[in-house]
Amino acid sequence: MHYNNSVYTFWVFSSIYDHQRMVYENRRAAGKKLTLVAAVIRTQKTYIQKKNMTQFLNRFAKTRSIALCTLAVAALASTPALAGNNDDDEFKFDMVRNNAGALQNALPNARGRVKIEPVGPVEIMDVTVWGLPPNTDFDFFVIQVPTAPFGLAWYQGDIETNSYGVGHGRFIGRFSIETFIVAQPPLSAPAPLVFNDPPFPDAASNPTTNPVQLYHLGLWFNNPADAAKAGAKNTVTPFNGEHNAGVQVLNTSNFPIGFGPLRHVTP
């Protein structure tokens, strides 16, 4: 009887232990699940917060860009020289083929169209050319007279044609009745010697001159080989950055020598 009571007591305590252990394991499992759920919730919350912040920043950047653009447009519109359609202020004219003989029979359809728009302290000059050899470089100058010997010249930049022989250049500077070159007398000044190859090496000093107005334009082949390839003379001229250009292609000889197109433009 005593043995049976001991067995019963052991069974009771074992059952209680198993029950408590099951409760503990269930709570532990539940705790792990809760911890995992909490971690997932925190991750999702962090992601949502970051996503909301990113969306907010994107909206802010977009709004700021729109605001800046609006301010820029308003500023431009408030500038008299840029506001609205200023066709009345623009001066448009043609450039014509150089008929002085350097092109021989080449490029019979070579032409150019120029638009000069005053914008306050400077002018914007758009130059479009066509009827030229495709994929070829040309050099653009403001010059004293339209044909040889050209007088004083001011290098503006390059125009490169596309596969159809059409090119465009935009130049910003003083292109008006006030365009001039001066080398104040009575003394010349030293000049750097950079491009010294013949036939047109750099001069070591400048000639002196009172102001000389420059009202004409000219366009030259950048390379004499390109001129020869097109059927023109392969004469070397100084009209590019290294002073080894080809012959002139276009000019403004359709205007009088003393009254070139830039003289028509008033700042």
> Token pair of 40, please?
């997932």
Omega within 30 of 0 (cis) for the link into 185: no
Average pLDDT over residues 118-127: 96
Query: Residue 201 gets which letter from DSSP?
Result: P
Whether the Cβ atoms of residue 78 and residue 200 lie closer than 8 Å to each other:
no
Query: Residue 242 gets which letter from DSSP?
Result: T
Give Cα separations from 149 to 29, 102, 104, 141 (angstroms).
100, 13, 18, 14
**Check: CATH 1.10.3470 for 87-264?**
no
Q: Look at residue 113 in the predicted model and tell me its pLDDT.
A: 98
Binned at pLDDT 50, 70 and 90, residue 211 comes out as very high
Give the list of residues 6+ apart from residue 13 with CB closer than 8 angstroms, or none.
none
Q: Look at residue 32 in the predicted model and tell me its pLDDT.
A: 46
DSSP SS3 for 47: helix
Average pLDDT over residues 77-91: 52
Average pLDDT over residues 196-208: 96
Q: Look at residue 199 in the predicted model and tell me its pLDDT.
A: 96
Report the predicted TM-score, pTM, of the whole model to 2 decimal places: 0.68
Q: What is the mean pLDDT of the chain?
A: 80
> Token pair of 133, please?
């050899």
What pLDDT, in 10s, does the model give residues 63-81?
444 333 333 333 333 333 3
Helix count (H) and strand count (E) of the chain?
2, 10
